[in-house]
């Protein structure tokens, strides 16, 4: 996929996809967005010593990096599953500035060096399973996931991922009191998505680009 690096307002990098004509993170700040939505409203809300995460959209690996650091800082275990249909090239990943801003250069490199479609133990606190494929082909045991990071492109760009069928599939993975976190491009999309998720009685958290 044809992508290029751009800098967001908090100084952290994100990517712009020419194929989808969309950026991977908020222009207000890639790092701030990930910390606020996925770490603060997701991992911190779980209050568990073992957290199973399913992420739709590995992307730059920022959510995985922050999750790994969170696991280490709290001395808990995170089993991180992430599906990505369009992996970012090693060359581009090497130019992203997350290690310069938050450290953990070795961790960032390990995340991207980990084999696809294998479960890799990166530390006592963090295992990673990157899947190179589509969520449409995914299978997980029922009710095993504590947190879903639904980090797809907008419904206008990836409409096939914003359907009742996909939401139903993800809800099968999710524990009854689990957390579903997604980023919608605007308030209207956020409200529409929340209504879809609420149909399954498992909705716990929703944030949208631009709201914060």
Neighbour-count burial for 154-175, b at 16+ CB within 10 Å, e otherwise: bbeebeebbeeebbeebbebbb
pLDDT value for 65: 98
Backbone angles phi, psi at 38, to 5 degrees: -90, -35
Average pLDDT value for residue range 4-19: 95
> Mean pLDDT lowest for which of 4-8, 20-24, 105-109, 159-163?
159-163
Q: Which of 36, 55, 27 is nearest to 151 (CA)?
A: 55
Average pLDDT value for residue range 175-199: 62
Strands 126-132 and 13-17: unpaired
Candidate ranges 24-33, 166-175, 185-194; pick with highest mean pLDDT: 24-33
CB of 111 closer than 8 Å to CB of 61: yes
pLDDT value for 184: 61
Strands 3-7 and 77-84: unpaired
Residue 88 has pLDDT above 50, yes or no: yes
pLDDT value for 212: 34
Which residues are CB-neighbours of 151 under 8 A, at least 6 positions away? 38, 55, 56, 57, 59, 63, 182, 183
pLDDT per residue over 13-65, tens digit each?
Answer: 999 999 999 999 989 999 999 999 999 989 999 989 999 999 999 999 999 99
Residue 187 has pLDDT above 50, yes or no: no
Q: Which residue has the higher pLDDT, 62 or 181?
A: 62
Mean pLDDT taken over the chain: 86
Average pLDDT value for residue range 78-87: 96
Average pLDDT value for residue range 139-151: 85
Residue 144 has pLDDT above 50, yes or no: yes
């Amino acid at each position: 996929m044809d992508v290029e690096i751009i800098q967001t307002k908090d100084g952290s990098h994100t990517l712009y996809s020419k194929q989808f004509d969309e950026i991977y993170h908020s222009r207000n700040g890639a790092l701030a967005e990930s910390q606020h939505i996925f770490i603060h409203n997701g991992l911190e809300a779980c209050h568990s010593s073992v957290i199973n995460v399913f992420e739709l959209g590995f992307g730059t690996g920022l959510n995985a990096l922050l999750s790994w650091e969170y696991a280490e800082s709290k001395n808990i275990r995170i089993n991180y599953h992430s599906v990505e249909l369009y992996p970012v090239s090693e060359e581009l990943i090497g130019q992203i500035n997350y290690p310069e801003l938050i450290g953990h250069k070795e961790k960032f490199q390990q995340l991207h060096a980990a084999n696809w479609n294998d479960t890799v133990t990166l530390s006592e606190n963090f295992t990673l399973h990157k899947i190179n494929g589509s969520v449409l082909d995914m299978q997980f045991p029922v009710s095993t996931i504590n947190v879903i990071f639904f980090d797809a492109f907008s419904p206008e760009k990836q409409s096939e991922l914003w359907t009742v069928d996909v939401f139903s599939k993800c809800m099968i993975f999710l524990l009854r009191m689990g957390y579903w976190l997604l980023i919608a491009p605007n308030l209207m999309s956020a409200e529409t998505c929340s209504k879809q998720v609420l149909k399954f009685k498992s909705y716990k958290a929703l944030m949208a680009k631009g709201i914060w």
